[in-house]
Structure 1
Amino acid sequence: MAAAQMISKKMVRTTMESLDRIDRDILTLLQAEGRLSGAEVGRRVGLSQPAASARIQRLEKSGVITGYRAVVDPAALGLHIQAVIRLRTTHAQLARALDFASQTAEITSILRVTGEDCLIFDVHCPEAGRLEEVVDALARFGPVTTSLVLRSYPSKPLTSATPTAT
């Protein structure tokens, strides 16, 4: 592991251990509503706007908050089929499989996992024929297992899994 990655992980670990209840409340709010103003965040957690903004900036600078983004409904973009594809590949094929996945627009997330499978892909396609093409292309790298997603449920905020500061 590169020195910069080790320092970064160490900094985040230290920061996570030092989060108090207000920090966790701020993280929960921003994960649900990332466009809240500092004043509104402060009002909801019982801080002044400057104090809330300072905490948010500290969470950003320490790497706990890594960005803000819009959450888009895939169906609104005509992507009506969602699937999870698991790939079992070899170490020799791993880099090529990751390169292919990074260049395939329908693959929206990639997880490298332990166990029998190596990679798990979240895939959004407009129709079954395109899903078939993506599955066939991934199968060049090893056996695939495809599961259609029937429904997706909202993610829980990460702060609910963080230890409480003492």
Structure 2
Amino acid sequence: MESLDQIDRDILILLQAEGRLTGAEVGRRVGLSQPAAGARIQRLEKNGVITGYRAVVDPAALGLNIHAVIRLRTTHAQLSRALDFASRTPEVASTLRVTGEDCLIFDVHCPQAGRLEEVVDALARYGPVTTSLVLRAYPPKPLTDATPTTS
């Protein structure tokens, strides 16, 4: 993949913040015509830089008022079972496989403490767990490539 220029980075920042912008609006904001902006967006999609578009849903609006992060320390033999459990559990919003003492980190949203307890107990079948309640989630920063730019 060729490196991204500043206009590509600006387009990525815009679309991560507002994925429903039209090509014309993206072009206006980055100083390109609609066809030029559309061509860049298509190239970013074709090259796998943009991998999809999705709605971001507020879990509390769905009655999922408890947000927790669960860390699991497991064995290689139990890893696939733990991943299978996570994939079948609707409260598990995302799973990260990590290095260090813990093997997996789960982002979990539950309607009440009792359901969180059930999820924690089920994961504990695969190894020791550590659970942290999330007090506040901050908006993610837009991603761009790590190539430094000159100002």
Fold match (TM-score > 0.5): yes
Equivalent residue number for residue 137 of structure 2: 152
Aligned CA-pair RMSD: 1.1
1:162 is displaced (CA, Å) by 2.2
- Deviations 1:57-89, CA, capped at 9 Å, x for gaps: 000000000000001000000000000000000
Unmatched segments (≥5 aa) in structure 1: 1-13
Equivalent residue number for residue 162 of structure 1: 146
Are the aligned partners of 1:20 and 1:164 in contact in 2 as well (CA < 8 Å)? no
Equivalent residue number for residue 111 of structure 1: 96
- State how 1:79-90 maps to structure 2 within 5 Å: 79-90=64-75
1:164 is displaced (CA, Å) by 3.5
Are the aligned partners of 1:19 and 1:165 in contact in 2 as well (CA < 8 Å)? no
Equivalent residue number for residue 58 of structure 1: 43
- Deviations 1:115-137, CA, capped at 9 Å, x for gaps: 00000000000000000000000
Unmatched segments (≥5 aa) in structure 2: none
- The AA in structure 2 aligned to 1:122 is D
**Alignment pair present for 1:38 and 2:11:** no
1:144 is displaced (CA, Å) by 0.1
Identity %: 84
TM-score by length of 2: 0.97
CA distance change for structure 1 residues 129 and 30 in 2, over 3 Å: closer, same or farther?
same
Higher relative helix content? 1
Are the aligned partners of 1:113 and 1:120 in contact in 2 as well (CA < 8 Å)? yes
1:165 is displaced (CA, Å) by 6.5
Give the number of aligned pairs.
150
